[in-house]
Amino acid sequence: MAYVATRGGERAIEQAERLYRADIGAIGRERVEAVRDGLPYLVDRLMGEASLYEPDLAALALAQSGGDLYEALLLLRAYRTTQPRLAVAEPVRQADLFTVRRISAAFKDIPGGQILGPTLDYSHRLLQVGVLNGEEYRPAPVEPAAEPAPATQPSLAEWQKAQDLIPDHPAESVEPDEIPDITREPLLFPVSRAHKLQSLARADTGGTLALGYATMRGYGAVHPTVNELRLAEAPVRMRHPCGTVFSAGRVRVSQTEVVSKSGGSLQLGFSATFGWNEVKTIAAATLDLASGQPDPHPASNEEFILYHTEAVESSGFCVHFKLPHYVTFQSHLDALRRVKADRQQAAAIAAEEESRHETNEAVP
Amino acid sequence: MKLSELTRPWSAFSYGFLDESAKREIRRRILKAIAVPGYQVPYASREVPIARGWGTGGLQVTLTLLKPDAVVKVIDQGADDSVNASSIRKFVSRVGGTVETGDTTQATLIQSRHRIPEEKLREDQILVLQVPNPEPLRPVQPDMSVAREMHADADYGQLWLILYEQLVRSGRIMQGASYPSMVNGRHVMTPSPIPRWDVPKLNRADHLTILSAGREKRIYAVPPYTSVEPLVFDDVPYRVEDHQDKACWRSGVRGFFMNELPQEDGSSLYELSDSHFGIKHIRKAAGEAVSIGETWYRNGRMAR
């Protein structure tokens, strides 16, 4: 009874997975470290989208998925969601950030200065093909400045608020446990400010760029200027049960403020994420700004942006179309055939009537 | 006293994979969904180790309802051996230590994608349907916040309008699967992409049905003995697929929902969509002692 031997599916899926893993090969600590140390910007991007700051785990996920970013992301998110939330860190203000790069396109110079920091912005994008021929590519050493830049920088927006250029929105005080957490609550609309910024922080970099770019190009009314962009290390400070605040380490963060003229003042769009990922925060800050406008263009509508840049959901749904859908298809086929049969029947009746009509005319 | 005596032994993940706070949330949402039949309850919908769109909503409900003595059946398009159903079943037994079954009558918990088994479910069984899109209003209103208001107002006129337009254009109602249905006379739901054949099985059923959309983060339910009425016009009756006369080429059984298998000569063969139901018939015909449960359909018609 061939029909009864139906467990073939289980063997097939197991072997298919082995085939995939065989191509990637054995994974050891060494490979994970090579990914972590050699591809820090990829690790950063992934940690941001995963809402999980752990370079070792992110590198492991990349190694385990062979670099398939959406697979790696799902691995991290599925791991993260099982972890308990032990404590809530103290809020970080701009002036607390150990800033390594900070630029503003809005002014030639700003209080605290423009700090280029690490960037490829002005590099010539030439492949070092010599490496493939055995020459080692050794970047030229950095020459330290005569005077080191200060570790922390004031906030430009604070200066603008003091000048009455940007309306001030005083921070709401919320108990730590009451802070909305998108990883434990559904996204509902109209969305809260916290959920919006959290969703953008973990949004797909590519998706955020696509929608952000659409808005910048003209599907939206805002014309963003980068007010301040920062790459920094943020101190993670915890409050001990006995009341003292202590540092639990640092995380790499990027953040962007964009401004646009609106009525008599400037309006700010903001985005921040784990890891150093400039293109994402610029795009996300633009989307934040555009979606906050009254009656935004459909491409920068809050619900549209936040649902469609959720990488685990969008990638999962996209690939789910590979699953069999033959029951649904059968159901549609049935309706189509019925209509076809109706039409054939109607045509047959019409033909019959016509021939009867002709016969009647032929016999006067 | 030692710390190890006070804590539970370490394990890589909780029983049923989800941590207790996630399970508690889902239990509360399920209770609300049962209390307001057909109403879509938002929930956090945690990530699980399978991809979104592959049954994560159903899986979260199954994992929450899991207990060590559960007997679990997982089907996809009616088949137990479908690759994704196999994968989900394997995961559930890996994290829950449950008994697996293909037999509908033996299962306490059935997770299904796009089908309801042909054998009648009992009061002590729970059916969990995977839902890709929980919103019946999506074709007329893609904006979820507006759709929510429409549900609140029971503003469903546009759904009838779609059906009416189909009648005018094609002379027939063209809705295939996911037939919009009124639950308990109040909320219109999509019964998930089950064929029209299966929708009447939900009406005043003995069992509890929980529908869960993981990606869209919504849970809704049809409690036992609750009315589920497909949207129709008084003069255009609801019609299920024309499968009542089709015979399964493997088992010879007639009068149930079939898979169509196109043949090279241009014809089609049919086989029972409910694969284990077919297996039981084949085994019974071969003389094995197999008990086949009471079915919803008899002689190709819904029995009431």
DSSP string, B70-90: -EEEEEETTBSSSHHHHHHHH
- Return the pLDDT at B112: 97
When pLDDT is averaged across residues B60-74 and rounded to a whole number, the result is 95
User: Per-residue pLDDT for B265 more than 80?
Assistant: yes
Say yes or no for a CB contact (<8 Å) between A328 and B47: no
Instruction: Compute the CA torsion angle A196, A202, A204, A207 (nearest 10 deg).
Output: 20
Cβ neighbour number for residue B251 with a 10 Å cutoff: 20
Banded model confidence at residue A361, pLDDT cuts 50, 70, 90: low
- As to burial, measured by CB atoms within 10 angstroms (0-12 exposed, 13-18 middle, 19+ buried), residue B138 is middle
Say yes or no for a CB contact (<8 Å) between B275 and A6: yes
- Return the pLDDT at A82: 85
User: Per-residue pLDDT for A162 more than 70?
Assistant: yes
When pLDDT is averaged across residues A19-39 and rounded to a whole number, the result is 97
- Written as six digits, the tokens of A39 are 């591809």
What percent of chain B has a predicted confidence (pLDDT) above 90?
A: 85
Q: Given CB atoms, is B219 within the 8 Å cutoff of chain A?
A: no
End-to-end CA distance of chain B: 64
Mean pLDDT of chain B: 93
Give the count of alpha carbons within 13 A of A335, CB side only: 24
Work out the widest C-alpha separation in chain B, in whole angstroms: 78
**Pairing mode, strands B71-76 and B99-100:** parallel
Q: Is residue B256 part of a domain?
A: no
- Return the pLDDT at A4: 36
Q: Mind listing the pLDDT tens digit for each residue in A250-271?
A: 999 999 999 998 777 889 999 9
Q: Mind listing the pLDDT tens digit for each residue in A134-145?
A: 999 999 999 998
Range of the domain at B183: 20-229
Q: Is residue B86 part of a domain?
A: yes
- Return the pLDDT at B26: 97
Say yes or no for a CB contact (<8 Å) between B81 and A189: no
User: Per-residue pLDDT for A60 more than 60?
Assistant: yes
- Return the pLDDT at A241: 86
Q: Is residue B203 part of a domain?
A: yes
- Return the pLDDT at B5: 79
User: Per-residue pLDDT for A1 more than 50?
Assistant: no
Contact of B16 with B72, CB cutoff 8 Å: no
**Which residues partner with B230 through β-bridges?**
B181
Q: How many domains does chain B have?
A: 1
- Return the pLDDT at A314: 96
Say yes or no for a CB contact (<8 Å) between B77 and A327: yes
Q: Is residue B247 part of a domain?
A: no
Say yes or no for a CB contact (<8 Å) between A327 and B143: no
Listed in sequence order, the residues at least 6 apart from A151 whose beta carbon sits closer than 8 Å to its beta carbon are A98, A99
Residue B228 φ then ψ, to 5° = -130, 110
Q: Mind listing the pLDDT tens digit for each residue in B133-145?
A: 999 999 999 988 8
Q: Mind listing the pLDDT tens digit for each residue in B165-188?
A: 999 998 889 898 999 999 999 999
Q: Is residue B9 part of a domain?
A: no
- Written as six digits, the tokens of B172 are 């027939």
CA of B217, closest CA in chain A: separation in Å? 7
Listed in sequence order, the residues at least 6 apart from B302 whose beta carbon sits closer than 8 Å to its beta carbon are B200, B201, B240, B296
When pLDDT is averaged across residues A58-79 and rounded to a whole number, the result is 97
Q: Which residue has the tokens 């699967």?
A: B177
Which ipTM value was assigned to this complex? Answer: 0.85
Give the count of alpha carbons within 13 A of B172, CB side only: 17
- Return the pLDDT at A6: 42
| B218: nearest CA partner in chain A | A186
CATH number of the domain residue B98 falls in = 3.40.50.11310
Cβ neighbour number for residue A82 with a 10 Å cutoff: 17
CA of A343, closest CA in chain B: separation in Å? 9
- Return the pLDDT at A2: 35
- Note the pTM of the prediction, 2 decimals: 0.89
User: Per-residue pLDDT for A62 more than 90?
Assistant: yes
| Amino acid letter, residue B62 | T
| A181: nearest CA partner in chain B | B44
Contact of A256 with A226, CB cutoff 8 Å: yes
Chain A CB contacts of B258 under 8 Å are: 330
When pLDDT is averaged across residues B20-48 and rounded to a whole number, the result is 96
Contact of B150 with B141, CB cutoff 8 Å: yes
| B133: nearest CA partner in chain A | A317
CA of A195, closest CA in chain B: separation in Å? 12
CA of B237, closest CA in chain A: separation in Å? 14
When pLDDT is averaged across residues B72-91 and rounded to a whole number, the result is 91
Say yes or no for a CB contact (<8 Å) between A335 and B250: no
Q: Is residue B218 part of a domain?
A: yes
B276 vs B97, more confident? B276
What percent of chain A has a predicted confidence (pLDDT) above 70?
A: 96
Contact of B222 with B228, CB cutoff 8 Å: yes
As a whole number of angstroms, the distance between CA B177 and CA A173 comes to 49
- Could you tell me if residue A113 is left (phi over 0), alpha (psi between -120 and 50 degrees) or otherwise beta? left
Q: Which long-range contacts (CB under 8 A, 24 or more apart) does A205-208 make?
A: A205/A45, A205/A48, A205/A49, A205/A277, A205/A279, A205/A280, A207/A308, A207/A309, A207/A311, A207/A314, A208/A280, A208/A283, A208/A284, A208/A287, A208/A309
Q: Mind listing the pLDDT tens digit for each residue in A76-92?
A: 999 998 888 888 999 99
Q: Provide the CA A9 distance to its chain's centre, in angstroms.
A: 35
- Return the pLDDT at A334: 87
- Return the pLDDT at A363: 54
In B137-176, the residues whose Cβ lies within 8 Å of chain A are 143-145, 170-176
**Pairing mode, strands A225-239 and A98-103:** antiparallel
Q: Is residue B292 part of a domain?
A: no
Work out the widest C-alpha separation in chain A, in whole angstroms: 115
Contact of B161 with B139, CB cutoff 8 Å: no
Chain A CB contacts of B171 under 8 Å are: 339, 342-343
User: Per-residue pLDDT for B60 more than 90?
Assistant: yes
- Written as six digits, the tokens of B187 are 């909320």
Q: Mind listing the pLDDT tens digit for each residue in A168-198?
A: 888 888 888 899 999 999 999 889 999 999 9
User: Per-residue pLDDT for A227 more than 60?
Assistant: yes
CA of A305, closest CA in chain B: separation in Å? 12
As a whole number of angstroms, the distance between CA B58 and CA B65 comes to 11
Residue whose C-alpha is closest to residue A277's, from A362, A174, A208, A352: A208
What percent of chain A has a predicted confidence (pLDDT) above 90?
A: 65
B202 vs A323, more confident? B202
As a whole number of angstroms, the distance between CA A62 and CA A39 comes to 10
Mean pLDDT of chain A: 91
Q: Is residue B158 part of a domain?
A: yes
- Return the pLDDT at A7: 52
- Could you tell me if residue B204 is left (phi over 0), alpha (psi between -120 and 50 degrees) or otherwise beta? left
- ∠ CA B215-B221-B223, rounded to 5°: 165
- Return the pLDDT at A101: 96
Chains A, B: CB pairs < 8 Å: 166
Residue B264 φ then ψ, to 5° = -60, -30
As a whole number of angstroms, the distance between CA A287 and CA A23 comes to 39
Q: Given CB atoms, is B58 within the 8 Å cutoff of chain A?
A: no
- Return the pLDDT at B19: 87
CA of A88, closest CA in chain B: separation in Å? 17
Chain B CB contacts of A318 under 8 Å are: 53
User: Per-residue pLDDT for A288 more than 90?
Assistant: yes
As a whole number of angstroms, the distance between CA A217 and CA A223 comes to 9
User: Per-residue pLDDT for A8 more than 70?
Assistant: no
Residue whose C-alpha is closest to residue A94's, from A135, A44, A153: A153
